[in-house]
Structure 1
Amino acid sequence: MQLSAYTKEFPKNLKLAFPVMLGQLGHVMVGLVDNLMIGRLGAAPLAAVSLGNSLVFIALSLGIGFSFAITPLIAEADGAGDIEKGRSYFHHGIILCGINGILLFLLLLLAKPILYYLDQPPEVVELAIPYLEIVAFSMLPLMLFQAFKQFADGLSQTKYSMYATLLSNVVNVVFNYILIYGFWIFPRLELEGAAIGTLISRFFMLWFIWEILKRRKKFAGYFKWTKKEFLKAGVFRRLLELGFPTALQMFFEVAIFTATVFLAGQLGTNPQAANQIALNLASMTFMVAVGLGVTATIRVGNQKGLGHFKDLRRIALSTFLLIFLIEAVFALGFILLKNILPTFYIDNAEVVFLAAQLLVVAALFQLSDGLQVVILGALRGLQDVRIPTVICFISYWIIGFPVSWYFGGEERLGSMGIWLGLLAGLTSSALMLYFRFAYLSKRLILSKFNPKLGTNINQN
C-alpha cells in the first residue's frame, strides 16, 4: 500500500486529536496554576499540595481509566447508526461514573492516614490533610464530567470538552486568587482556598459540558431519558469489562513513573530534582500522544461498527505513523536542547547536568511511549483490553521496574539506570501491543472471507 494511503488520514486525525491535546493541557494547567499561586505562600504549603495530589493522581488514573470504556462503545454504535444502543451506553456510563466518583471520594478520605507514614515533615502533612479532604470531594463532578466527555468523544465531537476544560481554568484562577489570598468580602483561606477553587472549577466544568451538549442537535437523541433503559446488568457488565482493565493499564503506568520518584529520592535531593524536571518535560509531550490515542479509539471504533476492517487497519496504522513522526521531532528537540530546557526550572549546575542526561533517555522513549499510548487507543477501539492489560503489567513491572531498581543504584548508573528501566518497559509495551493489534486487525479482515473466524475478538 502506498504511503499516501496513510498520510491522507493525517488531517482528520489531527482535527480530532487537537482539541483533546488542548483539553489535556488544560488539566495540566490547573496543577501548574495551583503550584504557582500557592508557591507564593512558602515551601511548606507547596510541598503539602504536592503530597496531597500524589494520592489524588492515583485515584484520577483509576477513575479516568474506567470512564474510557464509554468512548469505544459509543463510537461503534455511532458507526453502526444505532442511537438506541449508544444512548443506553451513555446513560449507564453516567451512572457508573457517578458511583465511581463517590467511591473514589471515600477511598481518598480513607487513605488520609497514609500521609503520616510517608516520612514527610509533620507541618506539611497537617496542611495537606484539609486540602486533600476538599479536593477529594471534587472527584464526583470530575467523574461525571468524564462520562459526558467520553460520550462526546465517541461521537467524534472532541471540541466541547476542550472548551469546558479551558474555561474551567479561568474559573480556577479567579477563585484561587479570591480564596487563597483573600479579596473583598472573602477570607484568606490559603491552601483550603486553592482546594475550594479546584472544587468550584470542576463543578463549573460539569455544568458547562452538560449545558452545551444538551443544546446541540447532534446529541438530542441521546438526552431522552426513560426508566426502561436504566439498570440493565448486561450494559453495566460490558462497561466494567472494558473499564476495569483500562483503569489497571493506566494504574500500572502511573505507578512505575511514581516509583521512579521514590527511587530517585534515595539517590539524594539533586537527582530527585533532576528526575522531576525530566518527568515534567516528558509529560508535556505525552499530551500529544494522548490526543492521538483518543483519535485512534474513535476512528477504529467507527470502522468496527461499519464493518470496514481494511479501512480500520489502514486508519489505525496512519495514527501510529503520525505519532511516530511527531515524537521523533520531540526526541530531536530534547537532544538538541538538553542543556537549555532544565535551566528554565532551576539554577543549579549539578541538577541541570543530571537532567540533561535524563533527557537523552527521554528522547529515546518518546517514540515508544507515544506509540504504546496510541496502539492502546486503537485496541480500545477494538474493545480489546484484557490481554493489553497483561502486556502493560509485564512490560512495566516484570521488565521495566527490575531494570530501574537494579541499574538505578548509586553504585551503578544512578538516575540514568532508573530511566533505562522506563525505556525498557515502554519499548517492550509498544512492541507487544503492536503485535497484538496486527494479529487482531488481520483476523478481522480474514473474517470477511471466512465467517467461521467471527468478528468477536474479545476472547482471543
Structure 2
Amino acid sequence: MDSATHLKRILTLGVPLVGSHLAQFSIQLTDTVMLGWYDVEVLAGQVLGQTLFFLIFIVGSGFAWAVMPLIAEAEAAGDHTQLRRAMRMALWLTGGFAVLCLPAFLGARQIFDAIGQEAALSELAGRYLWIQGWSIFPALGVMVLKSTLAALERTQVVFWVTLATVVVNAVCNYSLIFGHWGAPEMGVEGAAWASLASTLAGLVGLVVYIRATLPGEALFARLWRVDAGALLRVFRLGWPIGLTSLAEAGLFSASTVMMGWIGAVPLAAHGIALQIISVMFMIHIGLSNVATIRAGAALGRRDGVELRRGGAIVLAVSGAVAIVTVALLLVAPQRLMGLFLDPADPARDAVLAIGVGLLAAAALFQFVDAAQVMALGLLRGVQDTRVPMVFAALSYWVVGVPLAWVFAFRMGFGGIGLWLGMAVGLGLAAVLMMTRFWKRGAYAVENGSGS
C-alpha cells in the first residue's frame, strides 16, 4: 500500500472517529459552558466531581479499548468467532468494574472532604456524582460498542449516534440547569441528570444499530455466557491500558486537586482551560484509534512494512493538527476562555487572567502530548500494553506530579507551575513510548504478538 492510499484510509477512518470523540466530549463541554453561565462556584464543584468520574471511567475504558486491536486482528484474519467473544467479554468486564466503582461516586463528598477540598465544593461535587455516578454503566457499555464498530471500520454510525447524544444532553441541560420549559431549576444536579439521560440514549442507539445492521455477526448472542479464554485475553490486554490511562488522567486530576487548594476561581479557570485543550486532544485521540485499528490489521496480516509506513503517516497528520492548536492557544486565549463565562459574572476578569496564562503553558506541550498518545495507539494495535503502562507511571507520577507540586508551591509559580510540571511529564512519556514503538513495533507484528 503506497503513502497516498494509507493517508486516504487514515482520513476515511479518522474523520468520523475524531468527530465522534469531539461529540462525546461535547457532553462534558456543554455541562461546563452552561454551568459557567449559571454560576462559577457551581462550575467549580462540577469540575471537581467530573474529575473523579472521568478518572474512574478512563480506567474501566481500558477493557473497552482492548476490544479494538483484538477485533481488528480477528477481522483481518477472518476469525468472526473471536470477534464476538471479545466484545461480549468486554461488556462483562466493564459491567463488573462499574459495580465495584459505584460506591466511590455515592460517597464522593466524603472523599473530597478527606483530601482537603473546600466544604462548599465538596458538597456540590457530591450532589453531582450521586446522580452522574450511575451513568458509569451505560457509558462503559457505549465505549465497548463504539470500539467494536470502529474496529469493523463502521465509524460513520459511531459519529452520528454520538452526535445525537450531544443534542439530547444540550436540550436536557438547558431545561434542567436553568429551569426552562416548565422544568425545575436544578443547577449542578440538572447537569448530572442530563448527562445520564444522554448516555442512556447513546447506548440504546448503538444497540439498535448493531441488531439491525449486523444480524449475521450475532454480537449479542448468548450474552450471559462466559468465555474464559476470551475473558482472560481481554483482561490481560485491557488492565494495562486502563492503568496507563489512569496514570495520564491522574496527572491532570492531581493538578485539579492541587488547583483546588489554591482556590475556587483558579479551579474554575483550570477547569475551563482543561476543557479547551481536551477538545483539541480529542482530535489526537481519534487519530490514535485509527493507529490502533491499522496496526491491529497489520498484526493480523503479519505485515511489518505497512505498520511502519502507516505509523509514520498517522504521526504526520497528528503533528499537523498540533501546529494549528498551538497557534489557536497563543493567538486567541481570551476569546476561547470567554466562551465559557457569563459577561456579567463578577469573577469573569479574574478567571480570564488566570486562564490565559494556563493556555500559554498548554501550548508548550501540544506536540509531546500528541506524540505520546499516538505512540500509545500504535503500541496498543500490536498488543504491547504492559511496558507503556510502566512508562506512563514513571513519566506522569514519578516525574510530572512531583514537579508540578514543586513548581506551583515551592517555587511560587501557582497554577502555571502546575501546568509546566505536567508538560515535563508528558514530554518524557512521548520520548519513551515513541522509542518503544519504533524499536519494537514491527518486530511484534512480524512475530504475531505484542511485547
Please list, as runs of the form range in 1=range in 2, the aligned pairs for 1:106-121 lying within 5 A after superposition: 106-121=103-118
Please, which runs of 5 or more residues in structure 1 have no aligned partner?
448-453
Aligned partner of 1:376 in structure 2 is: 376
Give, in whole Å, the separation in 2 of the partners of 1:273 and 1:189: 20
> Equivalents in 2 of 1:184, 1:261: separation in Å?
34
Distance apart, 1:150 and its partner CA = 1.1
Larger CA deviation: 239-248 vs 414-423:
414-423
Q: Which residue of 2 aligns with 1:194?
A: 191
In the TM superposition, what is the alpha-carbon distance from 1:18 to its structure 2 partner?
A: 1.7
SS of the aligned residue for 1:153 comes to helix
Summarize deviations over 1:334-388 as a string: whole Å, max 9, x none. Answer: 2333565445556866765554444343223111101111110111111110000
Contact 1:83 / 1:222 at 8 angstroms: preserved in 2?
no
Distance in 1 of aligned mates of 2:128 and 2:272: 25
CA deviation after TM superposition for structure 1 residue 312, in Å? 1.6
| 1:396-438 alpha-carbon deviations (Å, 9 max, x no partner) | 1122223222222364544443322222111111111111111
Indicate which of 248, 253, 262 corresponds to 1:253.
Answer: 248
Q: CA deviation at 1:56?
A: 1.2
Q: Which residue does the alignment assign to 1:32?
A: 29
Equivalent-residue separation in structure 2 for 1:420 and 1:43 (angstroms): 25
Q: Does 1:213 align with 2:206?
A: no
- Which SS does the other structure have where 1:249 is aligned? helix
Q: Which amino acid aligns with 2:67?
A: I
In terms of mean alpha carbon deviation, does 192-201 or 116-125 score higher? 116-125
1:153 CA drift (Å): 1.2
Structure 1 match to 2:231: 236
Kindly state the Cα deviation for residue 133 of structure 1 after the two structures are TM-superposed.
1.8
Map of 1:145 onto structure 2: 142
Larger-Rg structure: 1
Distance 1:438 1:91 in 2: 33
C-alpha distance in 2 between matches for 1:327 and 1:278: 17
Asked if 1:14 corresponds to 2:11, the answer is yes
The DSSP-based 3-state class of the residue aligned with 1:281 is helix
Deviation, 1:189, is 4.6
Q: State the distance in 2 between where 1:222 and 1:410 align.
A: 58
More displaced stretch, 297-306 vs 334-343: 334-343
Which amino acid counterpart does residue 378 of structure 2 have in structure 1? A
CA drift of 1:186 comes to 5.5
Structure 1 CA distance for aligned equivalents of residues 36 and 350 of structure 2: 23
Q: 1:17 to 1:406 in 2, by over 3 A?
A: same
State the distance in 2 between where 1:434 and 1:145 align.
30
Structure 2, unmatched stretches of 5+, are none
> Which range moved further: 66-75 or 256-265?
256-265
Please tell me whether the aligned partners of residues 101 and 144 of structure 1 are also in contact (alpha carbons under 8 angstroms): no
What does the per-residue CA deviation read over 1:256-278, in whole Å, with 9 as the maximum and x for residues that have no partner? 11222333445566655554443
Q: CA deviation at 1:25?
A: 1.8
Distance 2:31 2:217 in 1: 39
Specify the alignment match of 1:291 in structure 2. 286
Distance 1:154 1:174, change over 3 A: same
Matched, 1:456 2:449: yes
Q: CA distance change for structure 1 residues 382 and 124 in 2, over 3 Å: closer, same or farther?
A: same
Q: CA deviation at 1:210?
A: 0.5
Identify if the C-alpha distance between structure 1 residues 131 and 353 changes in structure 2 by more than 3 Å, giving closer, same or farther.
Answer: closer
Aligned AA (1:456): S
- One-letter amino acid of the counterpart of residue 91, structure 1: R
CA separation of 1:128 and 1:157: change in aligned 2, threshold 3 A:
same
Q: Which amino acid aligns with 2:146?
A: K
Q: Percent identity?
A: 31
Contact kept in structure 1, 2:330 and 2:359, CA below 8 Å: yes
Query: What is the root-mean-square deviation in Å for CA atoms of aligned residues?
Result: 2.9
1:284 Cα deviation from its structure 2 partner? 1.6
Q: Structure 2 vs 1, CA of residues 127 and 280 (structure 1 numbering), >3 Å: closer, same or farther?
A: closer
Report the 3-state secondary structure (helix = DSSP H, G, I; strand = E; otherwise coil) of the residue aligned with 1:225. coil
SS at match of 2:154: coil
8 A Cα contact 2:382 2:444, kept in partner: no
3-state SS, counterpart of residue 365 of structure 2: helix
What corresponds to 2:361 in structure 1? 361
**Whole-angstrom CA distance in 2 between matches of 1:404 and 1:324:** 26
The one-letter amino acid of 1:386's match is R
Of residues 70, 78, 84 in structure 1, which corresponds to 2:75?
A: 78
Q: Which has the higher contact order (CA 8 A, sep 6+)?
A: 2
Q: What is the TM-score of this pair, normalised by structure 1?
A: 0.87
Residue deviations 1:234-284, cap 9 Å, x none?
211111111111111111111111222333445566655554443332212
Aligned twin of 2:219 = 223
Determine the C-alpha separation between the residues in 2 that align with 1:124 and 1:404: 22
Deviates more, 1:381-390 or 1:110-119: 110-119
Structure 1 pair 130/407, CA: closer, same or farther in 2 (3 Å)?
Answer: closer
**What's 1:278 paired with?**
273
Is the 8 Å Cα contact of residues 375 and 434 (structure 1) preserved in structure 2? yes
